[in-house]
A and B are shown apart, each in its own frame.
Chain A
């Protein structure tokens, strides 16, 4: 008998799991729907399974996954830190789950207070004047931020400003978001060290520049020390400076982006603020702004007036709504809990330990691998396997797959694009020294294998249920739903 793979494989005629009360309205017929020819003519082919099938199936397939709770997850740029369990419990309290978005604000004082206070905390940590908690992810935050920049320039009569500068090391969502708001991109080259080439930037400046999007520390884990110079160049053109806050874990308590000249930002609560990644969401991408941009923030805003929390819709210059309601509210509760647990000192220590551990790993691994950053890094660093590729024919992908054989989730591979055969490592502060040492040891072992037994890497992974998949076939012969 074939082992069940999908929930559909457990189906049998007349098996059921649902439990619903009996129909006390047999006298009401479906005739009115039939009369307008809209009664469903076929039956959707959903699984016919029992509750125990459901529980077994999803329990079994969950074991084919690897989460932060399984082991170190050193994905550079993703900040896969531990997801505190108390935050899961508290966000699931009835008073948070069952509140309806259309209820009177007077019945929602608890959640509105959390949203109001969370906004204040984020302002304090990062220096901004106000935050919108509405965007559901970093990408939606970027889109929101760019719309705010557009609104600012429109108000100032800067209709010729239609171009954003983006470093070639940027995350793909940055240029994608710029296109999404109808603007153009000019790419800035990086220096051999991986930082913004300020001379190249200067050649790309003109009056059409609406602003620049920067990640700082950048996507190589290096702090852009020229930031204040860059600020002046952009602000002199009345441009705005956007901070992609994906790497916020590296500066809390040590710098505020507003002191570094940033006018607007997004954060990733599912990175820096410990909310779970969920296998692909739900996340949250709050957008912060300096005072001159506050009027453009999405609507509604959470306010505190006459000793009551409320939602204010009177925002005439707002860019509008991004979400049908107020964003991924339940995710916000978890970030709130995290900040209350750590406090200011805790967040500063978080940054310190994240950067400490990254430098520890970098120091140990630099004896065996080519690391682009020669000095100290921030919370992440990149190994380049370009030499191994040349000498042994082993690529970053092969190392990643071999790590899987040793029971590890691989680091981020092939990002940023400017480092060839990149392997980006970010331990985060929630790792123990033992788990970090284990990963280091394994990487050193794999380096030996590259030299002496490369086929172990080329054939990896071998210890998982499936090996490398034929991704070309998935495109050539699309099979995107159960037939």
Chain B
């Protein structure tokens, strides 16, 4: 039988050794209250499976030039990553609870923690969370644990799907989300935000950049937050940190990110990679696995899962998070990506994301009827108001082989003709020009 190598003869010998007549004896203690009927398609061979899945994969259409972002990005992924994470010693291994035979995994996690701290300017990082959304949720819980204050203030310039996940994690714990809405949804009203800060807030979440690509200097907010004892949580884009000042230098207490941009495919949204790092005062309340460096009795350096008393297998109902398996292999992918890029390569990626974004903004702003809505510099994404209905514009662009972006009216009721357009380093000049020309072409007919 597929994957189970015991032969029928061996089965008979095993039954004799156990001292039973047939296999059904092993299941006699189950109530035979109902007959078990499993209705599945008949088993197929490897050849049949390959044909079936290949056919299914062709029913997904990725054959476009895509300008869709919104929390998942189409970056350049170096080939070395898949070769290295395909080594079975990495991907078929279990959690490194036995460090003597898991130094591969443990060293890689230690490298990952180190690199995330370098990028974010924070003191400590863990081995990963499920995704950026659950990572912010756990960060909010950390700040609640530290202060016992029951409110979190966050602007609605954070990705809408993240806000939904935050509710799922925080509502059951009676941690209230104060959702701040600027009068114009894409223009962050700093003064109004500051006026809402109170000593009832355990933390604020500051997106960096925000959902609309805005790069904002939050220094006034951070100062007021610190005066009121409110923890500052930055939600950052990891590639942007090669170009932008680190959350640590800006005064973040906790820095959270989505690591999909670090060498992971878009993959219909998952697996993703939650990044969590913080000041060292949060060490005992940080969820997830943490690897530390130590040695054996002969002085040989070794890496080991540490501070395990925070975790569920020890603290059980007293643990601050239930997380067990996380996104280990994706953290390894990100580690290899960051080693491949180095700070110079990552800076190049970030500069290209920024510049190509500027170039596209500039080109689109010159098309009659289009207006760039951002007033801040932008990273990797920007908002455009369109002269025609955004949905029908996207439909027309699709026929030309272009995925033009995300229609913001999905998330913000006022934004009927607003497109969120994303540009990464992987776009060529001709692809950018082709997008601009096509936009011009399809809207000039309609005006």
The chain B residue with its CB closest to the CB of A125 is: B38
Contact A344 B39 (CB under 8 A): yes
Find chain A residues with CB under 8 A from B336 CB.
Answer: 54, 58
Q: A46 at the A/B interface (Cβ < 8 Å)?
A: yes
Given the complex of chains A and B, what is the CA–CA distance between A18 and B378 in angstroms?
Answer: 25
Choice from B31, B84, B340 contacting A260 with Cβ under 8 Å: B31
Q: B227 at the A/B interface (Cβ < 8 Å)?
A: no
Q: A1 at the A/B interface (Cβ < 8 Å)?
A: no
Contact B294 A323 (CB under 8 A): no
Q: B43 at the A/B interface (Cβ < 8 Å)?
A: yes
Choice from B68, B93, B283, B429 contacting A279 with Cβ under 8 Å: B93
Q: B215 at the A/B interface (Cβ < 8 Å)?
A: yes
Q: Mark B21-53, 1 if CB is under 8 A from A, else 0.
A: 001011101110110101111111010011011
B12 to chain A, nearest CB (A): 11
Known contacts A44-B119, A66-B101, A95-B60; 13 additional CB pairs below 8 A are: A20-B348, A49-B342, A55-B83, A62-B104, A65-B104, A69-B89, A252-B38, A254-B36, A276-B329, A330-B265, A341-B2, A477-B294, A481-B124
- Chain A interface, number of residues (Cβ within 8 angstroms): 193
Known: A66-B101, A342-B2. A324 touches B165 (CB 8 A): yes
Question: Which of A102-110, A236-244, A381-389 lies at the binding interface?
Answer: A102-110
Q: B316 at the A/B interface (Cβ < 8 Å)?
A: yes
Find chain B residues with CB under 8 A from A125 CB.
Answer: 38, 40
Find chain B residues with CB under 8 A from A143 CB.
Answer: 322
Q: A223 at the A/B interface (Cβ < 8 Å)?
A: yes
Within 105-120 of A, Cβ neighbours of B (below 8 Å) are at 107-111, 113-114
Find chain B residues with CB under 8 A from A474 CB.
Answer: 292-294, 304, 306
Contact A110 B59 (CB under 8 A): yes
Within 326-371 of B, Cβ neighbours of A (below 8 Å) are at 326-332, 335-336, 338-346, 348-349, 351-352, 354-356, 358-359
A67 to chain B, nearest CB (A): 3
A218 to chain B, nearest CB (A): 12
Q: B20 at the A/B interface (Cβ < 8 Å)?
A: yes
Can you name 24 A-B residue pairings with CB atoms under 8 Å?
A23-B355, A54-B339, A62-B84, A83-B91, A94-B57, A100-B403, A101-B268, A103-B403, A137-B323, A143-B322, A178-B317, A179-B322, A181-B172, A182-B172, A255-B30, A255-B36, A279-B93, A280-B109, A281-B330, A282-B270, A323-B269, A350-B1, A465-B300, A480-B124
Q: B195 at the A/B interface (Cβ < 8 Å)?
A: no
Q: B65 at the A/B interface (Cβ < 8 Å)?
A: no
Contact B293 A479 (CB under 8 A): yes
Given the complex of chains A and B, what is the CA–CA distance between A109 and B3 in angstroms?
Answer: 30
Contact A469 B345 (CB under 8 A): no
Q: Mark A301-319, 1 if CB is under 8 A from B, else 0.
A: 0000000000000000001
Q: B244 at the A/B interface (Cβ < 8 Å)?
A: yes
Q: Mark B125-145, 1 if CB is under 8 A from A, else 0.
A: 101101111100000000000
Q: B387 at the A/B interface (Cβ < 8 Å)?
A: no
Find chain A residues with CB under 8 A from B256 CB.
Answer: none
Q: Mark A182-203, 1 if CB is under 8 A from B, else 0.
A: 1001000000000000000000
The chain A residue with its CB closest to the CB of B395 is: A104
Find chain A residues with CB under 8 A from B268 CB.
Answer: 96, 99-101, 108, 111, 325-326, 329-330
Contact B43 A175 (CB under 8 A): no
B221 to chain A, nearest CB (A): 14
The chain B residue with its CB closest to the CB of A476 is: B294
Question: Which of A70-78, A287-295, A442-450 lies at the binding interface?
Answer: A70-78
Q: B301 at the A/B interface (Cβ < 8 Å)?
A: yes
A139 to chain B, nearest CB (A): 4
Find chain B residues with CB under 8 A from A157 CB.
Answer: none
Known: A182-B173, A279-B329. A323 touches B133 (CB 8 A): yes
Contact A478 B283 (CB under 8 A): yes
Find chain A residues with CB under 8 A from B132 CB.
Answer: 324
B389 to chain A, nearest CB (A): 16
Contact B101 A349 (CB under 8 A): no
Q: A128 at the A/B interface (Cβ < 8 Å)?
A: no
Find chain B residues with CB under 8 A from A276 CB.
Answer: 91-92, 329
Contact B340 A51 (CB under 8 A): yes
Contact B14 A356 (CB under 8 A): yes
Q: B252 at the A/B interface (Cβ < 8 Å)?
A: no
Contact A67 B312 (CB under 8 A): no
A436 to chain B, nearest CB (A): 9
Given the complex of chains A and B, what is the CA–CA distance between A5 and B107 in angstroms?
Answer: 8
The chain B residue with its CB closest to the CB of A434 is: B5
Find chain B residues with CB under 8 A from A37 CB.
Answer: 217, 219, 245
Known: A62-B90, A63-B89. A101 touches B100 (CB 8 A): no
Most interface-central of A75, A279, A344 (chain B CB within 10 A):
A279
Contact A138 B243 (CB under 8 A): no
Contact A469 B99 (CB under 8 A): yes
Find chain B residues with CB under 8 A from A92 CB.
Answer: 82
Find chain A residues with CB under 8 A from B332 CB.
Answer: 279
Choice from A101, A136, A279 contacting B96 with Cβ under 8 Å: A279
The chain A residue with its CB closest to the CB of B273 is: A282
B128 to chain A, nearest CB (A): 7
Most interface-central of A55, A321, A337, A474 (chain B CB within 10 A):
A474
Contact A97 B266 (CB under 8 A): yes
The chain B residue with its CB closest to the CB of A34 is: B377
Most interface-central of A16, A44, A223 (chain B CB within 10 A):
A44
Q: A372 at the A/B interface (Cβ < 8 Å)?
A: no
Q: Give the top 6 A-B pairs by smallest Cβ distance, nearest first.
A: A325-B269, A280-B328, A18-B345, A95-B57, A343-B43, A101-B269
Known: A28-B359, A121-B40. A175 touches B26 (CB 8 A): no
Q: A172 at the A/B interface (Cβ < 8 Å)?
A: yes
Q: B324 at the A/B interface (Cβ < 8 Å)?
A: yes
The chain A residue with its CB closest to the CB of B272 is: A324
Contact A179 B39 (CB under 8 A): no
Known: A270-B325, A323-B131. A6 touches B107 (CB 8 A): yes
Given the complex of chains A and B, what is the CA–CA distance between A92 and B283 in angstroms?
Answer: 37
Q: Mark B276-299, 1 if CB is under 8 A from A, else 0.
A: 000000010000011111111110
Find chain B residues with CB under 8 A from A456 CB.
Answer: none
Choice from A55, A150, A359 contacting B80 with Cβ under 8 Å: A55
Contact A281 B328 (CB under 8 A): yes
Choice from A51, A88, A341 contacting B44 with Cβ under 8 Å: A341
Q: Mark B1-24, 1 if CB is under 8 A from A, else 0.
A: 111111000110011011110010
A164 to chain B, nearest CB (A): 10
Given the complex of chains A and B, what is the CA–CA distance between A119 and B267 in angstroms?
Answer: 19
Most interface-central of A40, A337, A341, A349 (chain B CB within 10 A):
A40
Q: B161 at the A/B interface (Cβ < 8 Å)?
A: yes
Find chain B residues with CB under 8 A from A337 CB.
Answer: 49, 53
Q: B159 at the A/B interface (Cβ < 8 Å)?
A: yes
Q: A48 at the A/B interface (Cβ < 8 Å)?
A: yes
Given the complex of chains A and B, what is the CA–CA distance between A280 and B314 in angstroms?
Answer: 17
The chain A residue with its CB closest to the CB of B7 is: A433
A85 to chain B, nearest CB (A): 9
